Amino acid sequence: MFKEKRNKEGKEREETEYVIRAENVDYTYEGSKTKALDHLNLKIRKGKKVAVMGGNGSGKSTFFLCLNGIRRPDFGRILIDGKQIEYTKKGLLDVRRKVGIVFQNPDEQLFSASVYEEISFGILNLGADEETAERAVRQVIEELELSSFQDQPTHALSGGQKKQVAIADILVMHPKVMILDEPAAALDMKHTKKVNEMIGHLSERGITVLIATHDIEYAYGWADEIVLMHEGRVIRHGEAEEICQDLEGLKEAELEMPAVLRVYRKLIEKKILSEEDRLPRTWENLEARLAESVRTDRSREEM
């Protein structure tokens, strides 16, 4: 877990350092007896890649909806870029400019006739003039390589294409924070790869990215930090390496240690690899380490 800084200087730095601060957030859906969010606390630094994980119903989507003001906590508060969300028309417009959400189901998000219109809609709605909007939309279409289907009606797109348009929809507004709720759900391998590439793009632009995912291998390979949720609370938050070795936390969040890490540990245990500070994060990393160790052994034999 991250250490807290309690002095005044630390307090001031906190205002600028964290792009998201959720403090004691409670949320209960109307008619429900249980809290969907139960005193949730979380602070996220600018520019981080964060995977939010936890079983179904642990509160990931509800938390995301609170982060851009779609849902209003019953208790507690949320600060975006140091500013508490205000639930007025202006306040909500402001938070939506900063925090964009790509919903799990793109059909909840897309409603315009064509891809081009769809991507323009949000940015025009936020008050951009036609010329600025057009330039931004063209740029995003080019950057995300969507031109081959830009004139198609959104309802005729495949699930993977819809997801790409939904990402473009948000990216065009230049948000500070981008939230993707289970972006790879229901996508085939090709589209998952494409969407993951797009996600890589986002952090390169300095955007803070939060992703809900059940894929621990992906989270471990991609994320700087992992947040584990259980029953509406954050039960762990730390560096990806730390969380992925925390067996108790993983178990509570109904997850398992990434396979690449399990295999790596086995190789250490069997003395096939020697332990280093740096852990392999992907299969490619591990493969490279093995190749390196074979090379070292050979050169030793030749000596």
Ligand X SMILES: Nc1ncnc2c1ncn2[C@@H]1O[C@H](COP(=O)(O)OP(=O)(O)O)[C@@H](O)[C@H]1O
Site mask for Mg ion (CB under 5 A), range 36-75, x = bound? ------------------------xx--------------
Nearest CA to 194 out of 182, 204, 183, 205 is that of 183
- Could you tell me how many residues of this chain bind ligand X (CB under 6 A)? 11
Residue 60, interface with ligand X (CB under 6 A)? yes
Grouping H, G, I as helix, E, B as strand and the rest as coil, residue 8 is helix
Told to check if 213 binds ligand X by CB under 6 A, we report no
Per the CB < 8 A criterion, the answer to whether 84 and 243 are in contact is: no
**x/- string (CB under 6 A) for ligand X, residues 158-177?**
--------------------
* Closer of 58 and 208 to ligand X (Cβ): 58
Q: Which is nearer to ligand X, 35 or 281 (CB)?
A: 35
Residue 78 near residue 21, CB atoms below 8 Å = yes
Q: Which residue is nearest to Mg ion (CB)?
A: 61
| Per-residue contact flags (x/-) with ligand X for residues 22 to 51, judged by CB under 6 A | -------x--x---x---------------
What is the nearest approach in angstroms of ligand X to the Cβ of residue 228?
11
Q: DSSP characters for 270-298?
A: TTSS---SSPP-SHHHHHHHHHHHHHHHH
- Sign of the Cα torsion 68, 43, 219, 56 reads negative
- Partner interacting with residue 56 (select from ligand X, Mg ion, none; CB below 5-8 Å by kind): ligand X
Strands (DSSP E) contained in the chain are: 18-27, 37-45, 49-53, 75-80, 83-84, 99-102, 177-181, 208-212, 225-230, 233-239
Shortest CB 60 distance to ligand X, Å: 3
Residue 234 contact among ligand X, Mg ion, none, beta carbon within 5 to 8 Å by kind:
none
**Contact of 77 with 84, CB cutoff 8 Å:** yes
- State the minimum distance, in angstroms, from the CB of residue 64 to Mg ion: 8
For ligand X, the closer CB: 58 or 161: 58
Q: Which is nearer to Mg ion, 255 or 260 (CB)?
A: 255
Joined together, the tokens standing for residue 48 give 């981080």
54 binds ligand X (CB under 6 A): yes
Question: How far is residue 234's CA from residue 101's CA, in Å, rounded to a whole number?
Answer: 20
Look up residue 92 and give its two tokens.
């909500």
Identity of the residue, 61 or 192, whose beta carbon is nearer to ligand X in the bound complex: 61
CA 174 to chain centre: 16
Taking CB under 5 A as the rule, does residue 213 contact Mg ion? Answer: no
Tell me which stretch binds ligand X (CB under 6 A): 17-25, 38-46, 58-66, 171-179: 58-66
Whether 223 contacts 237, CB under 8 Å: no
Which positions touch Mg ion (CB under 5 A)?
A: 60-61
Which positions touch ligand X (CB under 6 A)?
A: 29, 32, 36, 54, 56-62
